[in-house]
Structure 1
């Protein structure tokens, strides 16, 4: 059982070995523990301040994560609907196919924007100056917290003092938009959704976490191998993000990165660099998938010779 060569420019899905049953099995072995961990917590009614984010803030459910795809182009020889349960795949004489033309036309503008965004972030120099203060800015001088079932490590006054003692340099709008009203004017930039591509940069924990969103947003046209790589980056980044937060996560097995101290800030920068290094090749692969899909959609049909 193999994937036949694709007539589309650029070939088949990124990282595809040619043996689709083996690739699917390897992918499922990789992601099943993550999906089952989440569904087991849901069955127990148990919350997790670190890992729930990967299934609640991001809208790809465990059942979605467990559906493998090689990406668009080519034919999965011998495959049936039960093998690849994405409705976008079409039956052929020999198996299943996902042509680029199956991508929804109304989402072309998103595809173009995202490709430009990914390229802009990829070309930008990483910055490691934020020191993880975004989670602290989300509780600054406000009695409401995002994780009320988890205690803060410091007193409210001490937590606010940490924010007051250092400049806020958040570059990611989707973190900035959760700042408390008192914290918003303290940030160096007044970020907006419209200017996202002007500020996001490859050193940002959240911009790297969001690679997962860019991978699943075009599923099943993005190969599952890229989705899994992006999820792994997001999981690692989320752990660092919350370890550096003001919350006491010792009950969940996480040691804090104490950014209120010089040693903690140095540790955070090193961990932030590690996330960025893991994320860059994933960002490159995603950009290639997006641009290849755009190229396939823009290709004019090849004129057929007269009979």
Structure 2
């Protein structure tokens, strides 16, 4: 079923989307103008490929056509027929293999039992036995030796390749899994903070097909997860008002696991919506 929206109706939705984006990215853009780095919030704009100006473009998603929409005339992924603009079937067809891979990864992750016992040790493994830390301007809360002791006293069980690939060389051998890009669909699970943050990545990679409201829901989840990720990291970010989740203590472990479960619950319907989107895009025309 296709819905055709007159210009006043779809521009109202586009304006509301733009206002929502502006509220989400304003602090980042202000810091960027001042050339100020932020160890927590910059991640969503540096690690993930979607830029604020791309995020601000409103996309209605499949099954919606826009009347009087010259703004979309030159945008990749759109086509106009008889004065109505919608997603271009040729672009969907061109990206079919990518859509299929994303769909398989998301569906496999959704079907797998979530795990809640990693306690965020991936960030600790990234600074294990090295002076070359990613956020060199911020001290390690327990110092280098204390950080190494925490790593050595814990079971490291990271299932996420894009976290594991940043482990230091000495830390890689401590991980009970050895994730690869090829094994990603077989290992990712819905308790993993990074797998749930990555819903924003997959929503972005599926643009312009992804409805913008879903993209921003995934963005907000990723932002909140990133905050926990860094609060539970070995870095001391108290100067930025981030109170640590001390995962080296029983209380910290309990706090981390509870938050992890909450994020898994939030992520589940978003993952399902992305799988449904892929299914709709992959459905044969006609």
Query: C-alpha distance in 1, partners of 2:74/2:23?
Result: 20
Q: Distance in 2 between matches of 1:49 and 1:141?
A: 21
- Report the equivalent of 2:18: 28
Deviation of 1:104 after TM superposition, in Å, equals 5.5
Q: How much has 1:92 moved relative to structure 2? A: 3.5
Moved beyond 4 Å, runs of 4+: none
1:56 is aligned to 2:51: no
Contact 1:244-1:257 at 8 Å conserved across structures: yes
CA distance in 1, matches of 2:109, 2:77: 30
In structure 2, the partner of 1:186 is: 174
Query: Mapping of 1:112-151 within 5 angstroms?
Result: 112-151=100-139
**Matched residues in 2 for 1:89 and 1:67: separation?**
13
- Give the aligned partner of residue 90 of structure 1: 79
Q: CA deviation at 1:85?
A: 7.0
Task: State TM-score, norm by structure 2.
Answer: 0.94
Q: Deviations 1:221-242 (Å, cap 9, x if unpaired)?
A: 1110110011011001100100
Corresponding position of 1:244: 232
CA deviations 1:147-178 (Å, max 9, x no partner) are 11111111111110111111001110100110
Give the structure 2 partner of residue 45 of structure 1: 35
Give 2:195's aligned residue: 207
Greater mean deviation of Cα atoms: 85-94 or 232-241: 85-94
Shift of 1:19: 3.8
Alignment partner, residue 269 of structure 1: 257
Asked if 2 retains the 8 angstrom alpha-carbon contact of 1:233 and 1:278, the reply is yes
Q: Secondary structure at the residue paired with 1:58?
A: coil
SS at match of 2:158: coil
Distance 2:74 2:261 in 1: 38
Root-mean-square deviation over aligned CA pairs: 1.8
Residue 61 (structure 2) pairs with residue 65 (structure 1): no
Q: Distance in 1 between matches of 2:180 and 2:144?
A: 28
Aligned mates of 1:64, 1:85 — CA distance in 2 = 14
Aligned length: 283
- Structure 1: gaps spanning 5 or more residues: 13-17, 303-307
Partners of 2:9 and 2:176 in 1: CA distance: 50
The two structures have a TM-score, normalised by structure 1, of 0.88
Shift of 1:246: 0.4
Task: Note the residue ranges of structure 2 that are not aligned, 5 or more in a row.
Answer: none
Structure-2 residue corresponding to 1:225: 213
Residue 154 of structure 2 corresponds to 166
CA distance in 1 between counterparts of 2:148 and 2:272 reads 38
Aligned mates of 2:74, 2:139 — CA distance in 1: 42
Q: Distance in 2 between matches of 1:124 and 1:179?
A: 24
